[in-house]
Amino acid sequence: MTRQIVLDTETTGLSAEAGDRIIEIGCVELLGRKLTGNNKHFYLNPERDSHEDALKVHGISSEFLRDKPKFEAVADELLDYLQGAEVIIHNAQFDVGFLNKELELAGRPPLGQFVDSVTDTLAMAKEMFPGKRNSLNALCDRLDVDNSTRTLHGALLDAELLADVYINLTRGQEALLMDVEASDDAGVIVARVDLSGFDLPVLRANEREAAAHEDILSQLDESSAGKTVWRALAPETVPDMA
């Protein structure tokens, strides 16, 4: 069963190379695309103040972080938790860049040596919704994920929201799986039925449907000066509508 970790960070600013540091890490575990509750959450002492703009985003003060552990103190626990998992991050280049810098400062190898892979949900969303806003808030709105409790950015809350967003983004991967529920005296029994092994029938268009299709093509011919793409296809590549 695939183990996935949805991860988010909060930082003191935008540039790890310029000395900004991670102040919060939130991780949510998925097994078989289901939340397990086996999450990780760290607040970290970055040994520097957050930039004013970053503070407006996450609202985590230097005073609050002063007695929190430094990254090096939690590095082994974090890496053990992430070991061998697919890590899912929104705008992965940003978070992985910060994690790799923290690992470097702590004398550890980069993240890629511990995890199976990194999946970037921002890249996924841009491919699925080109030209649209694909921030976490925008995706929550588009995919009906409740983000009403998100007034400020927080790593654990954002990881939990991203887990729901990811499941909705990849819903098509479960298109051939069906939940079957049956109830007996002991309660509800839920079984998973895999339909991928079934031979699904191919339903051909009848004469009425084929005529309606031809009518639509004729209308497209008129509006496109005879440049309908369907007409331009070689006959052997056009699906049989009969």
Partners of 120 in the beta sheet? 89
Active site amino acids: 153
What pLDDT score does 172 carry?
59
- DSSP for 230-241, please give it: HHHS-GGGS---
Q: pLDDT per residue over 90-107, tens digit each?
A: 999 999 999 999 999 999
Give the 3-state secondary structure of 167-219.
HHHCHHHHCCEEEEEEEECCEEEEEEEECCCCCCCCCCCCHHHHHHHHHHHHH
Report which DSSP code applies to 84: T
Strands 3-11 and 86-89, by their bridges, are: parallel
- Please give the share of the chain, as a percent, with pLDDT higher than 70: 79
Q: Which two tokens stand for residue 217?
A: 């093509």
pLDDT, tens only, 196-217: 556 667 778 888 888 888 888 8
CA angle 91, 96, 99 (to 5 degrees): 140
- Average of per-residue pLDDT across 29-54: 96
Average pLDDT over residues 28-37: 95
**Residue carrying the six token digits 């004013």:** 52
What are the backbone dihedrals phi and psi of residue 8, each rounded to the nearest 5 degrees, phi first? -145, 150
Comparing 219 with 18, which gets the higher pLDDT? 18
> From CA 153, how far away is CA 157, in angstroms rounded?
8
Give yes or no for residue 78 having a pLDDT over 50.
yes
Q: What is the pLDDT of residue 206?
A: 86
Domain segments of the chain as ranges: 3-174, 207-237
The pLDDT score that the predictor gives to residue 96 is 98
- Per-residue pLDDT, averaged over 174-183, amounts to 47
Task: Indicate the CATH number for domain 3-174.
Answer: 3.30.420.10
